[in-house]
Chains A and B, each alone.
Chain A
């Protein structure tokens, strides 16, 4: 239930958590309560009136859209899968990586200048393994190809190696994982950074929301998208 007094923040567990806490601090939100993280998933900070929920990154949007949290921090990749259910307020600038199509190294080299040819050379339907079925479907629609999207939860890089898929769509940051699995990037899809999202109703009715977001608004206005630590 949405709480009038408390502001509830849904934070992603994993690699985005540390920089998220950093941003919270820069907003003047004390996240000390979260520093000694044990196994608790819900942390109250009674002094400041904040409540933190630690959830799976892919569930942050759901917590916020359903009103269980007022605000959330989540990667743009997850938002692309669920457009329109929450307000995407600010680009927080950290967690930078990108979504890309990748294929076997040799194949990628052969068709490095024209990904369309690579997709067509594989015979139809083109099998694509990904964690992001919606984004993938939308992207490949522009090619007008017959595609078969294989939705996986993790270890996407494995799919082309064992013949489960022809290509994959996944997040790439350093490219090391691709390299280690004899894969190479074929096509760029979208830039991904962490975003601050808000529940539409909270944004309108929660009394603390305006003052809370003011520092971010000023940072954005000044043209800096990355509030420092």
Chain B
């Protein structure tokens, strides 16, 4: 087991180098954006009174055995000196829920926490591994629909702050389809049929199942919320018709709170949403980019998880996938960013070069220094600097005079004196 983990781990590092960091420039750029995103998110979460915590990378395997969010084969397991089985955290929610139910049992609720970091999962169908860089929040001990709406609004604000202009939040409820099939008195076969029709976006198939049950009044309103573009009015109409649909009432309340928060334009009802993780017990939401279909994050209510660790309590949270967001974010333009300069001098002017570099750094620029041997600095220094992605070159000649040359092929030109 240890060996497999080690082997997969080395594959993981290789894959990351191979896939994402195929060249140094890209690696630096990705890292820079990732750090920038984390600091933006830290501010956003902080403004909503979420406190940051660091989740241990190695956690007890037991945590993921009791209420298993992922199949055991998706976990990286290893054995410590005492023979205990540890796992590389596949998820941040379960360790936090465990602590909330244990050590923090007596802390007054609600607790608002946020975290940043990587989670590790083995890819199940394909080979290789899966490292997700996540940023997320957990709201522990708040059961009202406003709590779910708060997270939806926070997720929307976070995505906007990161420069993702086009995104959509799909909101569903884990128990809704089960309740529906109760109300409509569907047989297990029909229930399967309805679920698979909704998963395939086959409204003709869904209509077939509903019409067989002769709940005429419900068919059209239901089909209306199965299709995209459903609004609070549609939910309200349906909620009146089906009083026993608790999930639906809940969704309606969340949607109304989201309207007050001003984010409902981004929210789309999706009843077929079921969530990847078995621990979700209520409202679930997924953020994604409508153009590429890339999923930027997922969240939901997991009221059962704390109970499974011995202290029942309401909880909800979401996690953003920072790698996906980086691809979706439109903040790749470098126009407004600080300049990277290279100060070049020959050995006799070393002190001047260092002083000038320090001065530029004070002004907020990023500066590297290069010493060259005696003799004049030729044109080749510009192409040298360009190849290394510097925006401008400042040459200090033998007399101590300064010449600025643009090295940049990027927009914005060289460094202005």
Stretch at the interface among A13-21, A115-123, A197-205: A197-205
Which residues of B177-205 are within 8 A (CB) of A? 199-205
- Rounded to whole Å, the gap between the CB of B259 and the closest CB of chain A is 17
- Rounded to whole Å, the gap between the CB of B90 and the closest CB of chain A is 27
Residues of chain B at the chain A interface (Cβ within 8 Å): 199-205, 207, 219-220, 227-229, 268, 290-291
Contact A195 B204 (CB under 8 A): yes
How far is A195 from B201 in the complex, measured between Cα atoms in Å?
A: 13
- Rounded to whole Å, the gap between the CB of A76 and the closest CB of chain B is 8
Could you name 8 residue pairs across A and B whose Cβ atoms are closer than 8 Å?
Answer: A84-B201, A88-B204, A89-B204, A200-B228, A200-B290, A210-B229, A217-B220, A221-B219
Contact A203 B228 (CB under 8 A): yes
How far is A84 from B199 in the complex, measured between Cα atoms in Å?
A: 6
User: Size of chain A's interface in residues, with CB distance under 8 A?
Assistant: 21
How far is A220 from B220 in the complex, measured between Cα atoms in Å?
A: 9
How far is A139 from B122 in the complex, measured between Cα atoms in Å?
A: 31
Contact A200 B201 (CB under 8 A): yes
A140, CB-defined interface residue at 8 Å: no
User: Which residues on the B side are within 8 Å of A210 (C-beta)?
Assistant: 229
- Rounded to whole Å, the gap between the CB of B69 and the closest CB of chain A is 24
Task: Identify A89's interface contact among B203, B229, B268, CB under 8 A.
Answer: B203
User: Which residues on the B side are within 8 Å of A87 (C-beta)?
Assistant: 201, 203, 227-228
Which of chain B's residues has its CB closest to A197's CB?
B201
- The interface bits of chain A over 73-88 (1 if a CB of B lies within 8 angstroms of the residue's CB, else 0) are 0000001000111111
How far is A42 from B150 in the complex, measured between Cα atoms in Å?
A: 47
Contact A204 B228 (CB under 8 A): yes
Sample of 16 more A-B contacts, CB < 8 Å, known A83-B200, A203-B229, A204-B228: A83-B201, A84-B199, A85-B201, A88-B201, A88-B202, A88-B203, A89-B203, A89-B204, A90-B203, A200-B201, A200-B228, A200-B290, A204-B229, A204-B268, A210-B229, A217-B220
User: Which residues on the A side are within 8 Å of B201 (C-beta)?
Assistant: 83-88, 200
- Rounded to whole Å, the gap between the CB of A132 and the closest CB of chain B is 15
User: Which residues on the B side are within 8 Å of A84 (C-beta)?
Assistant: 199-201
How many pairs of A and B residues are in contact by the CB < 8 Å rule? 45
Contact A91 B204 (CB under 8 A): yes
Contact A220 B207 (CB under 8 A): yes
Task: Identify B202's interface contact among A67, A83, A204, CB under 8 A.
Answer: A83
- Rounded to whole Å, the gap between the CB of B76 and the closest CB of chain A is 31
Main DSSP-derived SS at the B contact region: mixed
- Rounded to whole Å, the gap between the CB of B397 and the closest CB of chain A is 53
Query: Which 7 residue pairs are nearest across A and B when measured between Cβ atoms?
Result: A83-B200, A204-B228, A204-B229, A88-B202, A84-B200, A87-B201, A91-B204
User: Which residues on the A side are within 8 Å of B204 (C-beta)?
Assistant: 88-91, 195
- Rounded to whole Å, the gap between the CB of B241 and the closest CB of chain A is 15
User: Which residues on the B side are within 8 Å of A209 (C-beta)?
Assistant: 229
How far is A67 from B166 in the complex, measured between Cα atoms in Å?
A: 15
How far is A83 from B202 in the complex, measured between Cα atoms in Å?
A: 8
Which of chain A's residues has its CB closest to B199's CB?
A84
- Rounded to whole Å, the gap between the CB of A67 and the closest CB of chain B is 8
Which of chain A's residues has its CB closest to B196's CB?
A83
User: Which residues on the B side are within 8 Å of A85 (C-beta)?
Assistant: 201
Which residues of A200-223 are within 8 A (CB) of B? 200-201, 203-204, 209-210, 217, 220-221
User: Which residues on the A side are within 8 Å of B228 (C-beta)?
Assistant: 87, 200, 203-204
- Rounded to whole Å, the gap between the CB of B358 and the closest CB of chain A is 51
Among B207, B220, B228, B229, max chain A CB count under 10 A is at: B228
User: Which residues on the B side are within 8 Å of A88 (C-beta)?
Assistant: 200-205
How far is A83 from B205 in the complex, measured between Cα atoms in Å?
A: 12
- Rounded to whole Å, the gap between the CB of A202 and the closest CB of chain B is 9
How far is A220 from B227 in the complex, measured between Cα atoms in Å?
A: 15
How far is A126 from B328 in the complex, measured between Cα atoms in Å?
A: 46
User: Which residues on the A side are within 8 Å of B229 (C-beta)?
Assistant: 203-204, 209-210
Which of chain A's residues has its CB closest to B219's CB?
A221
User: Which residues on the B side are within 8 Å of A91 (C-beta)?
Assistant: 204
Which of chain B's residues has its CB closest to A86's CB?
B201
- Rounded to whole Å, the gap between the CB of A93 and the closest CB of chain B is 11
- Rounded to whole Å, the gap between the CB of B105 and the closest CB of chain A is 43
User: Which residues on the B side are within 8 Å of A67 (C-beta)?
Assistant: 291
Which residues of A78-117 are within 8 A (CB) of B? 79, 83-91
User: Which residues on the B side are within 8 Å of A195 (C-beta)?
Assistant: 204
How far is A213 from B228 in the complex, measured between Cα atoms in Å?
A: 13
How far is A89 from B224 in the complex, measured between Cα atoms in Å?
A: 11
How far is A90 from B199 in the complex, measured between Cα atoms in Å?
A: 16
